[in-house]
Amino acid sequence: MTTATTVKTEYEAIIGLETHCQLSTNTKIFSNSSTAFGSDPNTNIDPVCMGLPGVLPVLNQKVLEYAVKAGLALNCQIAKYSKFDRKQYFYPDLPKNYQISQYDLPIAEHGWLEIELVDAEGNPTRKRIGITRLHMEEDAGKLVHAGSDRLSGSSYSLVDYNRAGIPLVEIVSEPDLRSGLEAAEYAEELRRIVRYLGVSDGNMEQGSLRCDVNISVRPVGRKEFGTKVEIKNMNSFSAIQRAIDYEIERQIAAIEAGDRIIQETRLWQEGAQCTSSMRVKEGSSDYRYFPEPDLAPIEVSNAQLEQWRSELPELPAQKRHYYENELGLSAYDARVLTEDRSIAEYFETAIASGANPKAAANWITQDIAAHLNKQKLTITQIALTPTNLADIITRIETGKISNAQAKQKLPDLLSGISPEKAFAGLELITDPSVLEPIVDEVIAANPKELEKYRNGNTNLKGFFVGQVLKKTGKRADPKLTNELVEKKLNA
């Protein structure tokens, strides 16, 4: 009798992200109202962002500059000619009942960014994720639902139009991501880039960076995509990863059960750790795009493009490669040091001042980082300069002070005391002729311990070393002290 064997179907996820990034301009995209966060409701508004009759939008030139720089940093092709369009949809927080955005002629297209995943052994894996497009648009307002954070449980809703007209760039990735982990790393790298550029603060808690996920699953080996589902309402990178992992499992289970996946928008429910249906997904035809008649087309000259290109900083991926390949740092250290531009610049100034790269990395990612986390400070807020850090490392490596002494004095150094003052009178005793009599004196003062040592309790060497360090106020060079003590004990 032949027994049938059931082969379990393997699936893969196809994931793309649409990221809305608020640009750090002082005023809105088409008017002079403030973009300040946290203002009282409906105080940062004006006739243009409220869509009152007879008003005309005027493009904020800083928005164009920031959008082009972001496109260049993402290796995009910058359009010499682009335009704005009206995107029609009817939400209570959209004053004009249309959004000024870009449709068929965006400012930037066809780019990529590199993500880096580090395994448990510290080995990096790099992957390029394609960028389909980057375009400029205005934000809508904000609905505040009273009585619950869910619309279905609210007794009424309020509208705050402060966000209406806030400048955004929407960055759309290719469907190159395959897991929640990859998607979260993509979003993190995107935030690193815009922060390095200074075009956005990337603060997810304040809504400066918002990611929508498009996800489908298909059997491994099939070329056709499955039905796409969009997930919204994720306010952290870990939420992005968890929402995707949940949705992959949900879709596979539905397919295995014979259910149909419908194209829809779903919400991530943080409390329940699951997605729930919000609405059937609209297509682009539902928005009835047409060219914005009140704004002239945008033309970027070669001279302007090259000027903005020349102002770009070195980006995180470039720094990681240099730190790992040229400075010999681990992938983990390189990642931590490049997480924030100010930390990377602090590190680079320290090594330019003569610090050993590995030692500087250890101090910054361990002792200094612990202080920053405890005090809730940034590295720009401490008084210990990178030049003084290089001085401390050089003193340790040349034997003038010990690592333990430096760590003991770190609080003083972080508060601004110079290494010269902090280590005055603490220079290590490295002269054998000075240390040898002290070692003899310690051994002579402890005959019982000496007898036990010579009878086989060799662990007592540490006792004698400790006594020498104590007698010299920890100024005895530890390495030299160990050598002299061992030599005398075994004589």
What was the pLDDT predicted at 3? 46
318: nearest Cα among 126, 186, 183, 184: 126
Q: 302: part of which helix (H) or strand (E)?
A: helix 302-310
Distance between CA atoms of 255 and 239, rounded to whole angstroms?
A: 24
Cα three-residue angle 305-166-107, rounded to 5 degrees: 30
For the chain, domains (ranges, CATH) are: 11-304 (no CATH), 314-422 (no CATH), 432-489 (1.10.10.410)
Q: Which tokens belong to 454?
A: 């010579």
pLDDT per residue over 366-425, tens digit each? 999 999 999 999 999 999 999 999 999 999 998 888 888 899 999 999 999 999 999 987
pLDDT per residue over 90-125, tens digit each? 888 999 999 999 999 999 999 999 999 988 888 889
List of long-range contacts for 314-317, beta carbons under 8 Å, 24+ apart: 315/73, 315/193, 315/196, 316/189, 316/192, 316/193, 316/196, 316/344, 317/113, 317/114, 317/116, 317/189
Which distant-in-sequence residues (6+ apart) come within 8 Å of 232 by Cβ?
A: 212, 265, 266, 267, 268, 278
What was the pLDDT predicted at 153? 64
User: What mean pLDDT comes out for the span 125-152?
Assistant: 86
- Calculate what percentage of the chain has a pLDDT beyond 90: 74
pLDDT per residue over 228-245, tens digit each? 999 998 989 999 999 999
Mean pLDDT of the chain: 92
User: What mean pLDDT comes out for the span 8-37?
Assistant: 95
What was the pLDDT predicted at 392? 97
Q: What are phi and psi of 439, to 5 degrees?
A: -60, -45
Looking at the predicted structure, is the pLDDT value of residue 325 above 60? Answer: yes
The residue that leads in pLDDT, 490 or 176, is 176
418: nearest Cα among 371, 375, 380, 385: 385
- Band of the pLDDT at 151, cuts 50, 70, 90? low
pLDDT per residue over 222-281, tens digit each? 999 999 999 998 989 999 999 999 999 999 999 999 999 999 999 999 999 999 998 876
Distance between CA atoms of 68 and 217, rounded to whole angstroms?
A: 34
CA 52 to chain CA centroid, Å, is: 39
List of long-range contacts for 331-335, beta carbons under 8 Å, 24+ apart: 331/116, 331/118, 331/122, 331/123, 331/124, 332/118, 332/122, 333/358, 333/361, 333/362, 333/365, 335/116, 335/118
